[in-house]
Amino acid sequence: MNYNQADFSIENIEKIKQQVLTWANQFNICCFLDNHQYQLPHHSVECLVAVNAIHQYKVKNNFIGNLKQFLKEHKHKWLFGHVNFEVKDEIFNTSSNHIDNINFPPIFFFVPETIIEIKKNKVSISCYNSKPEKIFQQIIQIETPTNQSQPPSSINFKPRIAKATYLHTIEQLQKHIQRGDCYEINFCQEFFAENVSINPLLVYQQLAHLSPNPFACFYKLQQHYLLCASPERYIKKQKNTIITQPIKGTIKRNLSNKVVDNEYKQQLYNSSKDRSENVMIVDLMRNDLSKICTKGSVKVDELYGIYSFPQVHQMISTISGNLQEETDFADVLQHTFPMGSMTGAPKKRVLELTEKYEQTKRGIYSGSIGYITPEGDFDFNVVIRSIAYNATNKYINYQVGGGITFYSNAQAEYEECLLKAEAMKKIFSK
């Protein structure tokens, strides 16, 4: 399978990204990944876009086994797609009877007809059935909006879990921790609205404007939309090196006062509660990687790193290892999914508790979106700080959560959830 490929010089990277995004939105299937020029370790491409499917992987069971076969059939090809949180049911033999009104398929990958890479002052276009020059001309003729600060509409989101219930649940979860059922558990809640119509492209542009994060994504699969402003990487492979970068630890920012803002950063770095939360997940991910990496190669590259994003400072650690030979993305998924930052430890027990205490399926939230290169390298995010929308049933939601430990304060955890939801809520407030 040979793509036609050509490179084009550009002057305004932000303008071309908006033009490419608008162009991509005309297709039923598109994946627009944008790191917003964050100079974080392990980033290589500014923006990566895939549209239209030549081949699709969409199954209802035996997700890992079927994916392994799909990867073999389409080796040396670009693949883009997502993995829902509910794939954990196959990996850990759990189940969920909760509702999911967004209803992304559990797992979906596609071989794109067109791939666009934007890096520095260059756009690379690879396409199967068209000429790159023709596509580039279509893109640069697109008029982009000059003002992205106006909210698209006003929507009143309702909490699936009442605040009093949330606070009581945190106390119940801490009793499980006291009994030794688990060490830490990620507990999430949904905010939703029904019978609403939105322009997903406009909403994503607003979200990216308010909260430009390094693992942002506009993902469209027919009537399903994921508008993502994630700051977190799930897993990346480059040659034989694999890394994971869990986030545990959040504090607000003060953009009007640099001194106070730096004090918040120091407060987060010195927080014994957040360090405890973070190191538990680091240990969990070290254990996960050890199952797929060569003996003795797994190491912690950075512990308690503090990184700043538009609304919050985050504590991020980096764990890496050397991947065993003949290990593909399906194997990695089998041994590391769901990512530890969105579960807690030990995984199977906290997934059972998640089912008991949460009130909706997480679906694509807490899942992952990303890509696999023709060389077999890959990079996948953690789907957080995201708005999901089903255009058929006109249902919209966002979900937020946090890691609960013995030392957690229920009220503070609730306020942290609201802090994480700030950019998403602000878009729909007039």
Give me the catalytic one of 17, 248, 361, 420: 248
Instruction: Select which of 90, 232, 413, 416 is catalytic.
Output: 232
* Catalytic residue flag (residue 232): yes
Helices 272-290 and 329-336 cross at an angle (nearest 10°) of 130
The residue behind tokens 């199952």 is 291
CA 351 vs. chain centroid, Å, equals: 19
Asked if 422 is an active-site residue, the reply is no
CA atoms within 13 A on the CB side of 146: 0
Distance of alpha carbon 220 from alpha carbon 390, whole angstroms: 10
C-alpha 169: how far from chain center: 26
| Structural contact between residues 247 and 314, judged by C-beta atoms closer than 8 angstroms | yes
Give catalytic residues, as residue numbers. 232, 248
